[in-house]
A = this chain, B = another copy of it.
Amino acid sequence: MLKPETPHRTTYRHGDLPHALLEAGLALARDGGPDAVVLREATRRAGVAPNAAYRHFADRQALLQSVCAAAQAALADAIEDELAALPPTRPAAKRARARLRAVGAGYLRFAQAEPGLFRTAFSVSDDLDSSTDPARAGRGGRTPFQLLADALDELVDAGVLLAARRPGAEFLAWSSVHGLGMLLIDGPLRALTREQRAAITSRLLEMVEQGL
């Protein structure tokens, strides 16, 4: 019995092939990054002929784009988790600062916990519109970029950040945190111990907070 083993279906129709392909693509991205998102392997895992994918995705790039959006949603979830775990804090200023830090910390935690998904999330060139695409939003309905923007708005409301310095601030913060993520997962900082990572993460977030 060298036939396709378990994932054999009895009906001609698959039922929910788009979803199955997306899920398979996500699994491939999880260990292997964007390059590992391969059409034929995804269809194989879905128990379907290679060309079946073309009924639901224009081409490999289209599948990758969906996987990318799902990865961004997962990142948003990670950030929301970090925010939710925050203890209630009294002075609004302190609270706003803690929330900004949490966004950065959640971002970096996700990068290290799911490097494959993380790299996939930023593998397709996107423009300003796509950073607010609902497909990239997490449970709370906000994309990673929007969560960051929210945190910065709170900083302004709390009087910590000058309103004049608010425009564009998300790009400064994002740059720093994203850059560190890259260094940590496949740059020269890969070999650091957990403590060293935590230390440098903390310093970077401090730098951002101070330098905004």
Interface residues of A (CB under 8 A from B): 35, 122, 125-128, 130-131, 145, 168, 171-172, 174-180, 182-183, 186-191, 199-200, 203-204, 206-208, 210-212
Which of B175, B189, B211, B212 contacts A180 (CB under 8 A)?
B175
Q: Give the copy number.
A: 2
Interface contacts beyond A128-B188, A128-B191: sample of 14 additional A-B pairs, CB < 8 Å, sorted by A: A125-B186, A127-B188, A127-B190, A171-B200, A171-B204, A172-B180, A175-B175, A175-B183, A177-B179, A179-B180, A182-B182, A207-B207, A207-B208, A208-B211
A27 to chain B, nearest CB (A): 21
In the assembly, what is the distance between CA of A183 and CA of B128, in Å? Answer: 10
Which of B127, B172, B200, B203 contacts A191 (CB under 8 A)?
B127
